[in-house]
């Protein structure tokens, strides 16, 4: 199987290249093909001749999307359409990485794949509109929604917390947003399995369990042996340009249909800390 990975220089892209074995894998970075340029995208797909395309590239700076919506939609929505067009021409299958931000966060039970999209941020809207367009263009594509991604090789919440803890005695972390931390290694392995099973439709892919950002930070510092105190605060106290879902836990039912189950986020965090220290 030949696989082309768009976004190969990103946190997830790096994990996909490391973890995918037994197939012919080609990584495509922004310097190889600009998602906003349909001709460059088409050329990259024609050159690599994939059976599967994994679209892990995106403009993921959530607050930056609020101040630069044009770029957010150009990359996250229109860029995805360009990849889908190229996939259709090449008769390749497509797996698109999406996000919990397509939901409004008003539920109090895990979101299912068929729950209504109602994004509250520009980032969420750009990904939600991409989902809708791709499902129209390629009904057999796979949309893998994930959340709270962390891993080595890029900026992520655990890395930020550990760096701040090295210079501070206390950290304020929001305690009224709840979601599922997801380790890039586990996500990459799940994507591999989904492609091998010719997955289609929407699948929620996160590590098992859920927590608040405060609980996540507390666990990070405890496992790292840091004595920095974590203080819970509200989202109002830590106001950000882009609204975040208060509750964005994703149900694993769709993933379990493929007989794939990811480890608990605490287990994943322990492995991340070992990888980070290596």
pLDDT (mean) for 42-49: 97
- What is the chain's Cα-based Rg? 18
Least confident residue range of 79-83, 110-114, 228-232, 238-242: 238-242
Q: Please, which pLDDT band fits residue 191 given cuts at 50, 70 and 90?
A: very high
pLDDT (mean) for 103-108: 98
Q: Which domains does the chain have, with CATH numbers?
A: 2-153+181-207+249-263 (3.40.50.720)
pLDDT (mean) for 60-73: 97
pLDDT at 84 over 90: yes
Q: How large a percentage of the chain has pLDDT more than 90?
A: 99
Annotated catalytic residue: which of 59, 101, 111, 123?
Answer: 123
Q: Contact, 164 vs 158, CB < 8 A?
A: no
For the chain, how far is it from start to end, CA to CA, in angstroms? 31
Q: Between vectors from CA 82 to CA 77 and to CA 85, what angle results, nearest 5°?
A: 125
Share the mean pLDDT of the chain: 97
pLDDT (mean) for 125-152: 98
Residue 64 in tokens:
């930056």
Residues 6+ apart with CB under 8 A from 231: 170, 171, 172, 173
Three-state SS for 54?
Answer: strand
- The per-residue pLDDT for 125 is 98
Q: Contact, 20 vs 71, CB < 8 A?
A: no
| Integer Cα distance of 52 and 44 in angstroms | 13
- The per-residue pLDDT for 67 is 96
Does residue 123 have an active-site annotation?
yes
Query: How many other CB atoms are found less than 10 A from the CB of residue 211?
Result: 19
- The per-residue pLDDT for 226 is 92
pLDDT at 218 over 90: yes
Q: Please, which pLDDT band fits residue 239 given cuts at 50, 70 and 90?
A: confident
DSSP state of 169: S
- The per-residue pLDDT for 127 is 98
pLDDT (mean) for 39-57: 98
pLDDT (mean) for 93-102: 98
pLDDT (mean) for 28-55: 97
């Amino acid at each position: 199987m030949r696989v082309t990975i768009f976004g190969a220089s990103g946190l997830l892209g790096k994990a996909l290249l490391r973890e995918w074995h037994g197939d012919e894998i080609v990584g495509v970075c922004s310097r190889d093909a600009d998602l906003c340029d349909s001709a460059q995208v088409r050329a990259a797909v024609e050159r690599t001749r994939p059976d599967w395309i994994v679209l892990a590239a995106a403009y993921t700076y959530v607050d930056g999307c609020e101040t630069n919506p044009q770029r957010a939609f150009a990359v996250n929505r229109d860029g995805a359409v360009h990849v889908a067009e190229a996939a259709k021409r090449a008769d390749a299958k497509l797996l698109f990485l999406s996000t919990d931000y397509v939901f409004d966060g008003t539920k109090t039970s895990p979101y299912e794949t068929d729950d209504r999209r109602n994004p509250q941020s520009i980032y969420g809207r750009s990904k939600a509109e991409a989902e809708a367009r791709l499902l129209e263009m390629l009904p057999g594509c796979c949309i893998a929604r994930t959340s709270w991604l962390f891993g080595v090789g890029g900026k992520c919440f655990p890395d930020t917390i550990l760096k701040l803890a090295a210079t501070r005695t206390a950290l304020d972390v929001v305690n009224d947003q709840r979601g599922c931390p997801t380790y890039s290694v586990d996500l990459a392995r799940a994507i591999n399995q989904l492609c091998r099973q010719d997955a289609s439709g929407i699948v929620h892919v996160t590590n098992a369990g859920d927590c608040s950002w405060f609980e996540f930070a507390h666990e990070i510092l405890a496992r790292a042996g840091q004595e920095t105190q974590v203080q819970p605060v509200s989202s109002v106290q830590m106001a950000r340009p882009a609204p975040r879902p208060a509750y964005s836990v994703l149900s694993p039912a769709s993933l379990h249909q493929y007989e794939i189950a990811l480890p608990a986020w605490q287990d994943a965090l322990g492995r991340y800390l070992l990888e980070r220290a290596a």
